[in-house]
């Protein structure tokens, strides 16, 4: 896939590092370039002398870590020497910072004409928004995502994970790959920019287009779908929730048969998609009363046999223990480089021949010396001089800054 491509990942915290990890999962060599005080994500609790931050671990597998002071002449020169041998640079600086640090596309392409520079920003690169802080909750609020999340008439609710940061990372990785393809075919690099705000607005898809086409303002409807019925969650006798999504007439009839209420399929209130949406409260009451008569395992067995689209609502722990998760290798055991113990970590969603099992995330500056020697041709004496000058950071005991 991306084997042989070298990416310099100057990003930190979540969105950018997630993009870097995706590129590593696609086979690229990803070199994480950290400041001398390390990525802040390394210090996000819970963290201890024996436990690395799960926040950091989740988005930094398969990378190498080097530490550079980009404000020092020696640190900046080291980066330039790495850029000369790299295929792409990704970062998440505020819009004005790259030019100030000499990391803008014009400067880096002068060093390496085929370099790809992929930049993630919060809102916009001009005017009042250029320097505004942009955290995940803000972005979910500003983009309208929170207004369609949660129960109808309830308090606005954020998506349960940091969807703004992570979606931005997905877009950043995709843009980087596309620019690498262009660079490969033309020999010229490209500057691509992803706004976290843009990514959230783009993901509104049919809800946004519905309003743009003259429809009503979308609103929160809980687990219920605004245009398809039934598509909701129902409480089973054992207190677990069942998600039902029998989209289309064939699945609707199969659901009614499995519930032992075949007559519901031809009930005038529910006989077609429009009728079911128009009588959604009555439909919810009927289905809710039926689902409440058996426990979730019984229902899931019946629905599975009948091929009715249904699932039990799992907790994160249940999802990670599910046989399908293991079958898809979405959890895997990785050797900790310090202790030698095996640690269970999230797997790689990209499945292709030779899919790599990514290494445990790197200790802080664990690879500074090796990368500068191998990639940039530095000698040990040169690296030692830079370290004494505070231009680069070297590996620390315990892998922490």
Annotated active-site positions, please? 165
State the virtual CA torsion across 141, 145, 148, 151 in degrees, nearest 10.
-70
Q: Is 67 helix (H, G, I), strand (E, B) or coil?
A: strand
| Helical residues (DSSP H) of 84-204, grouped into ranges | 97-101, 105-111, 136-142, 163-186, 196-202
Strand order in the sheet with 190-195: 190-195, 116-121, 88-91, 6-9, 29-34, 63-68, 392-393
CA proximity to 68, closest of 143, 152, 114, 8 = 8
Cα separation, 92 vs 119, whole angstroms: 6
Cα–Cα nearest to 186, from 115, 85, 265: 115
**Phi and psi, residue 196, nearest 5°:** -60, -35
3-state secondary structure of 52: coil
* Residue listed under structure tokens 């990890």: 21
Is residue 190 within a helix (H) or strand (E), and if so which, with residue range? strand 190-195
Upstream peptide bond of 46 is cis (omega within 30 degrees of 0): yes
Q: What token pair was written down for 381?
A: 């004496």
The answer to whether 129 touches 196, Cβ cutoff 8 Å, is no
Question: Alpha-carbon distance 16 to 93, whole Å?
Answer: 10
Listed in sequence order, the residues at least 6 apart from 81 whose beta carbon sits closer than 8 Å to its beta carbon are 372, 375, 376, 377, 378
CA distance 248 to 266: 14
Phi, psi angle pair for 174, to nearest 5°: -65, -45
């Amino acid at each position: 896939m991306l084997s042989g491509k070298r990416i310099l990942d100057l990003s930190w915290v979540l969105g950018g590092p997630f993009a870097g990890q995706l590129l590593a999962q696609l086979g690229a060599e990803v070199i994480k370039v950290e400041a001398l005080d390390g990525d802040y994500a390394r210090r996000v609790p819970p963290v201890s002398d024996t436990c690395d931050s799960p926040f950091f671990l989740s988005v930094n597998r398969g990378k190498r870590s080097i530490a550079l002071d980009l404000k020092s002449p020696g640190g900046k020169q080291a980066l330039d020497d790495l850029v000369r041998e790299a295929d792409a640079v990704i970062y998440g600086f505020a819009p004005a910072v790259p030019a100030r640090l000499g990391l803008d596309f014009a400067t880096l392409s002068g060093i390496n004409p085929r370099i790809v520079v992929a930049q993630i920003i919060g809102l916009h690169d001009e005017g009042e928004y250029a320097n505004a802080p942009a955290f995940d909750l803000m972005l979910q609020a500003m983009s309208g995502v929170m207004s369609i999340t949660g129960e109808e008439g309830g308090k606005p609710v954020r998506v349960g994970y940091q969807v703004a940061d992570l979606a931005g990372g997905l877009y950043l990785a995709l843009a980087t790959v596309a620019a690498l393809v262009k660079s490969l075919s033309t020999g010229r690099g490209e500057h691509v920019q992803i706004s976290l705000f843009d990514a959230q607005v783009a993901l509104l898809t049919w809800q946004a287009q519905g309003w743009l086409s003259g429809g009503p303002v979308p609103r929160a409807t809980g687990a219920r779908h605004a245009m398809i019925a039934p598509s909701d969650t129902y409480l089973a006798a054992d207190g677990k929730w069942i998600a039902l999504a029998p989209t289309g007439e064939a699945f609707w009839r199969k659901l009614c048969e499995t519930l032992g209420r075949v007559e519901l399929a031809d009930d005038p209130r529910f006989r077609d998609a429009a009728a079911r949406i128009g009588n959604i409260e009555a439909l919810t009451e009927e289905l809710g009363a039926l689902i409440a008569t058996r426990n979730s395992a019984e229902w899931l067995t019946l629905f599975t046999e009948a091929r009715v689209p249904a699932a039990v609502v799992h907790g994160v722990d249940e999802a990670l223990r599910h046989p399908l998760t293991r079958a898809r290798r979405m959890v895997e055991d990785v050797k900790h480089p310090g202790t030698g113990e095996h640690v269970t970590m999230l797997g790689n969603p990209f499945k292709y021949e030779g899919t790599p099992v990514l290494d445990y995330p790197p200790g802080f500056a664990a690879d500074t010396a090796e990368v500068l020697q191998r990639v940039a041709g530095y000698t040990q004496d040169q690296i030692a001089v830079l370290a004494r000058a505070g231009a680069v950071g070297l590996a620390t005991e315990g892998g922490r800054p």
